[in-house]
Structure 1
Amino acid sequence: MLKIVPDPPYNLHSLEDTLLVAADYALCAEAVAQQAVLMQPKSPVSVLMMTSMHELETLRRLLESALAQVQKPSDPQKLH
């Protein structure tokens, strides 16, 4: 029997990898919420979907900020 939902990755090696995967999941969830709103724009739950989109966008920005902090060199070399 085929699984409908795949298992999450188990062998993430670093914080950077984890942040990248989390940002990808947030982006996908945001796209799904946008599609749901487009399919049913007059639905009573569309306001909740738009709120979810806003929260997911904010989450994605926070993850990107954390990723940038992880990727920043810890000891910047002095310029001569």
Structure 2
Amino acid sequence: MLKVVPDPPHTHQSLEDTLIQATDYALCASTVVRQAMLLHPKSSASILMMASMHELETLRVLLEQALIQVQMPSEPRTLH
């Protein structure tokens, strides 16, 4: 019997790839909020947009810190 809905593709990304992708999404979301602020600076929702922008910037910084930790070598190198 044929399946009506196919299985989703199996994409096994590394933690580093996932963090990079999440950072890109946070940057895109931050850009959307900034654009909304430029289009409607006097909107009643501008306070919420500013709060969202702050949260997204904080998320981006945390993701970048996590990415740095992932990219650090796990074993200490000896200096000669």
Give the TM-score normalised by structure 2. 0.85
The percentage of counterpart residues that share the same residue type is 65
Q: Structure 2, unaligned stretches of length 5 or more?
A: 1-8
Which residue number corresponds to residue 36 of structure 1? Answer: 36
Q: Which runs of 4+ in 1 moved over 4 A?
A: none
The higher radius of gyration belongs to: 2
Match of 2:49 in 1: 49
Deviation of the 1:77 alpha carbon: 1.0
Note closer, same or farther for the CA distance 1:20–1:10 as it changes in structure 2 (3 Å cut).
Answer: farther
CA separation of 1:17 and 1:53: change in aligned 2, threshold 3 A = same
- Distance in 2 (CA, whole Å) between partners of 1:30 and 1:10 is 29
Q: 1:40 to 1:23 in 2, by over 3 A?
A: same
* Alignment CA distance shift 1:29-1:79 (3 Å): same
**TM-score, scaled to structure 1:** 0.85
Kindly tell me the number of residue pairs found equivalent between the two proteins: 72
Q: Please, what is the CA RMSD of the aligned residues?
A: 1.4
Distance 1:35 1:44 in 2: 16
Unaligned regions of 5+ residues in structure 1, if any? 1-8
